[in-house]
A = this chain, B = another copy of it.
């Protein structure tokens, strides 16, 4: 029974309260579920991970007026009704609700929200495709670099140690997705990936790329077991190992490794020495002007895209 025939009209109903509470870390842990707000994120959840979507809540008028709306007069409502259509097709349980109920669920819902199962979505290391897993031994050069990681010879992992700011965490997941990373790893004590602000900031990328959580030791053991060198992104390096400039790294042979993991540090403190000494490379972004540094989100975007573009050029 994928479409609930009953209209949710009571903002104080127990179901509505339970959904709204998922903004809260404790409630998420207890329920094993998290909240996805707004059309872009909900659309990607429904399109990419329908099996993980437990319930979808949508403003009632949309489904009723879908035909009338198809004239394109109400873009936002039309977008929602299309998501509902996809969701119903995938067997997702859809609830129509009043605007008041949607507002109570989340002030960021823009008329649509979904509840997603953490376990169903949560990836473990097995979710990542490594170069040695790839059966395709076709040697013909593939000149179409547009449709994602399958076309890359190299597997790139984006890893973040102790990232704490939800907005940053979401933005770096989005950048890692866009740069074609095979996975994102949150290393050590990071912000909860299912925090609503993280989910919103990924703009749907949370449903495109596996996001793993690991301890520091586990991360280094995991990368080692896959012959995947770790490249620490760091401005200072250690006394023994000064950072290599990103353009020098990109011109060197190391960029051609079949797999690589780029590890970024905490927003304020970067990477500590005990982490840096375990990395195979330390690479810094050159500062050509007078700015002291770049923030985490900017550094990650520049570093990941430079490596991705360099790797794709290399394969052409």
Contacts and interface: CB of A to CB of B under 8 A. Distances in A.
Interface of A: 40, 48, 145-146, 148-149, 152, 171, 174-181, 203-205, 208-209, 246-247, 250-251, 285-295, 297-298, 301-302, 305-306, 308-309, 312-313
A198 to B, nearest CB: 15
Nearest to A43: B292
Given A251-B313, A298-B301, A309-B247, A148 B178 contact: no
A305 B308 contact: no
Contacts of A204: 291-292
A288 B148 contact: yes
A1 B129 CA distance: 68
B181 A289 contact: yes
A225 B183 CA distance: 47
A297 B312 CA distance: 23
A311 to B, nearest CB: 9
B289 A177 contact: yes
Contacts of A177: 289-291
Contact of A178 (B174, B246, B294, B313): B294
A256 to B, nearest CB: 16
Contact of A146 (B178, B205, B286, B291): B286
A301 B246 CA distance: 14
Contacts of A146: 286-287
Nearest to A311: B288
The 3 closest A-B pairs by CB, nearest first: A180-B288, A178-B291, A208-B290
Given A288-B312, A298-B301, 7 more contacts: A149-B289, A152-B288, A175-B298, A178-B287, A179-B289, A203-B292, A205-B289
B290 A148 contact: yes
A294 B301 contact: yes
A165 B40 CA distance: 20
Contacts of A287: 146, 178
